[in-house]
């Protein structure tokens, strides 16, 4: 029986790890094929997800959320020249979703941003070299802002939910 939470969590972490390996490889070699380390990390993450079980709610949902947010912003950018409003709306949705979901435990709180960024990296590779997106001034920068700020807000959304739960359990005098 396949555990979807574990599979998605490991896929996100693997994609993030592949991205973290691709950046220095590309910097050192200049070879554009280094970005395929993200896909290798994704595949390795899926394999690990089948072997090593992780029951983490927020990390599992952060991976598809990162991919979906990146894909939506890229689609909007290809059709029209959006201002910063769609970017900030997507960031608000990302943070709100994480506040609603809440972390399973401390590990979940710290792995969810990595998983989100892994989904973002896979989403960025989906549109790699696509001219309507690459030709839009500021489009790629907006997408990177969505990835970095989204991962940061995933952590703070989960931290806010955790802090609320802890504060709610403090006895009143």
15-43 pLDDT, tens digit per residue, is 999 999 998 988 888 888 888 899 999 99
3-class secondary structure, 80: coil
pTM, full prediction? 0.91
Cα–Cα distance for residue pair 118/140, rounded to 1 Å: 17
DSSP 90-159: HHHHHHHHHHHH--SSHHHHHHHHHHHHHHHHHHHHHTTT-HHHHTSTTHHHHHHHHHHHHHHHHHHHHH
| Residues 115-156 pLDDT 10s | 999 999 999 888 887 777 777 777 778 888 889 999 999 999
């Amino acid at each position: 029986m396949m555990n979807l939470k574990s599979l998605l969590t490991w896929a996100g972490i693997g994609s993030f790890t592949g991205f973290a390996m691709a950046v220095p490889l590309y910097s050192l070699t200049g070879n554009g094929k280094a970005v395929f380390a993200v896909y290798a990390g994704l595949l390795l993450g899926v394999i690990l997800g089948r072997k090593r079980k992780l029951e983490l709610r927020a990390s599992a949902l952060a991976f598809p959320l990162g991919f979906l947010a990146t894909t939506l912003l890229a689609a909007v950018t290809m059709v029209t020249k959006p201002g910063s409003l769609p970017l900030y709306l997507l960031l608000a949705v990302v943070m709100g979703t994480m506040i609603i979901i809440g972390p399973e435990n401390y590990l979940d709180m710290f792995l969810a941003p990595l998983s989100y960024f892994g989904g973002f990296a896979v989403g960025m590779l989906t549109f790699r070299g696509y001219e309507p997106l690459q030709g839009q001034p500021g489009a790629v920068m907006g997408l990177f802002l969505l990835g970095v700020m989204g991962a940061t807000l995933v952590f703070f959304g989960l931290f806010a939910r955790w802090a609320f739960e802890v504060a709610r359990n403090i006895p009143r005098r």
